[in-house]
Amino acid sequence: MLNRNLFGPDFIWGVSSSATQTEGAWNVDGKGHSIWDTFVQAKNKIAAQHHHYQATEFYHRFEEDIALAKSMNIKHFRFSFAWSRILPDGIGTVNQQGIDYYKRVIKCCKENDIEPWVTLYHWDLPQALEARGGWTNREILHWFEEYVNTCMQYFKDDVNHWMILNEPVVFTGAGYFLGIHAPGKRGLKNFLPAVHHAVLCQALGFRIIKKWKPEAQVGSTFSCSYITPYAASKRTVRAAQRVDKLLNCLFLEPALGLGYPYKELPIIKRINKYMLPGDELLMKADLDFIGIQNYTREVIQHSFWIPFIHAKAIPAAKRKVYHTAMGWEVYPESIYHMIKKYSAYTGVKKIIVTENGAAFQDSLLQEQVNDPERIEFLSSYLAEVARAKREGAKVNGYFVWSLTDNFEWAEGYHKRFGLVYIDFETQQRTIKASGYWYKDFLS
């Protein structure tokens, strides 16, 4: 029977969130504009023209939400700093009101016996920096250096666990290649420099934090999906291998000193245009842990018509398999396979599952939210985490995405991942059945 004792006494349990998805207060108390503040104003980019300007009002209600987390026996809370709340223009003048706000959040966590885990960059680049090229401009190394140094100057004594970037393959891919996320850029000419500069910033951020606080635990988080071929043909298997390298290895392997996966993903050779002498060494980061964020698997088919990788994913609905409201297949074995895959890298010291969860069609009825699908999802995925750990994998923590329902990027507010239901009109909080299940599991 699944219980927390299977994971050992030192296993870390928590919940995750991010600034843009929860804080609201997008233009108050000195905060500068971010790329998402701009992007949501474009037509047909966000479902139902939703925006995050209010979100869950975490900025004003963080004490209530952290108290809810405590009531659910949660001891670790992952959240992010909004870069433009600390440095409104991305560089230069520090916004003391932003510093004071995050000081209050951290203090509230500790008063509730909750350990804060801070993500430095969760997709919300200051718009002032995007106007200068954003992640495509190599100057971002200097901008990011100033941002991280500022964070360490004010918070080094308050925070022991840091994550540099959140899912860099997503914010570079969706934001600088596909154009479906902020800042809405498209094409390899934007994607490849953004990738390289993010890889360099990932390592740079690690070095800066360690310089300020050598004993800090520092990692970065990586989205990952278990990749399987749709058929056994050689070209389909190769297509799946290319997608695996793109989605699962593009940012980790450079950090481990393995460089970019040129052999399996030839298109990445074009990134050499943006590399300077010495960059291969600067890409390396001896991370204390890696955060993996797994939700599903992808089944890949060869496709001549898809440029660069000649591969496409077959949607879960088309394959007629059980899936979440996001259209993602529920495939618990995926998290097992990804933990095992990353554990096989000799340079990976420790794995924390920094996101795992599911969106379903939740309804508030008689002040209750009954979500058995989410309970089954979490328990089945946790069973696979336990299996990987039992087999000697390096996994040592698990964070549910997310504490509350929130602004789900391009999906707006329709997709609910939270253990706590948010009525976005009244901002009333209701712990879902899955939240009570997690509370009992952690007791």
Strand ranges in 61-166 using DSSP code E only, listed in sequence order: 76-80, 115-121, 161-166
Tell me the pLDDT tens digit for each residue of 421-437.
999 999 999 999 999 99
Q: Which of 117, 153, 142, 147 is nearest to 34 (CA)?
A: 147
Q: How far is CA 353 from the centre of its chain?
A: 10
Q: How far is CA 277 from the centre of its chain?
A: 30
Helix (H) or strand (E) segment spanning residue 435: helix 433-442
Query: In the annotation, is 63 catalytic?
Result: no
Provide the CATH number for the domain around residue 97. 3.20.20.80
Q: Which of 215, 197, 115, 106 is nearest to 151 (CA)?
A: 106
Strand partners for 121: 165
- Nearest-angstrom CA–CA distance, 16 and 401: 5
Q: From the DSSP assignment, how many helices (H) and strands (E) are in the chain?
A: 16, 11
Which residue among the candidates 23, 130, 298, 355 is catalytic per the annotation?
355
Query: In the annotation, is 384 catalytic?
Result: no
Residue 266 in contact with residue 188, Cβ under 8 Å?
Answer: no
- SS3 state at 37: helix
Tell me the pLDDT tens digit for each residue of 260-271.
999 999 999 999
User: Around Cβ 199, how many Cβ atoms within 10 Å?
Assistant: 27
Which residue among the candidates 23, 130, 167, 384 is catalytic per the annotation?
167
Amino acid at 177: F
Residue 78 in contact with residue 117, Cβ under 8 Å?
Answer: yes
Residue 172 in contact with residue 140, Cβ under 8 Å?
Answer: no
- Predicted pLDDT of residue 1: 87
- Nearest-angstrom CA–CA distance, 163 and 183: 22
- Predicted pLDDT of residue 93: 98
- SS3 state at 293: strand
Output 365-373 pairs: Cβ under 8 A, ≥24 positions apart: 367/430, 368/430, 368/433, 369/421, 369/430, 369/431, 369/432, 369/433, 370/432, 370/433, 371/432, 371/433, 371/434, 372/433, 373/324
- SS3 state at 192: helix
3-state secondary structure string, 308-349? CCCEEECCHHHHCCCECCCCCECCCHHHHHHHHHHHCCCCCC
Q: Which residues have a Cβ under 8 Å from the Cβ of 83 and sit 6 or more positions away?
A: 34, 90, 120, 121, 124, 125, 126, 147
The total number of structural domains in the chain stands at 1
Q: What is the dihedral of CA 36, 40, 57, 101, to 10 degrees?
A: 20
Share of the chain above pLDDT 90, in %: 100
Taking only the tens of pLDDT, the chain with its 443 residues reads: 899 999 999 999 999 999 999 999 999 999 999 999 999 999 999 999 999 999 999 999 999 999 999 999 999 999 999 999 999 999 999 999 999 999 999 999 999 999 999 999 999 999 999 999 999 999 999 999 999 999 999 999 999 999 999 999 999 999 999 999 999 999 999 999 999 999 999 999 999 999 999 999 999 999 999 999 999 999 999 999 999 999 999 999 999 999 999 999 999 999 999 999 999 999 999 999 999 999 999 999 999 999 999 999 999 999 999 999 999 999 999 999 999 999 999 999 999 999 999 999 999 999 999 999 999 999 999 999 999 999 999 999 999 999 999 999 999 999 999 999 999 999 999 999 999 999 999 99
- Nearest-angstrom CA–CA distance, 7 and 374: 21
Backbone φ, ψ for residue 110 (5° rounding): -65, -35
First CA to last CA distance, the chain: 15
- Show the tokens assigned to 252: 């980790």
- Write out the residue range of the structural domain in which residue 388 sits: 4-442
The structure tokens 């963080």 sit at: 62
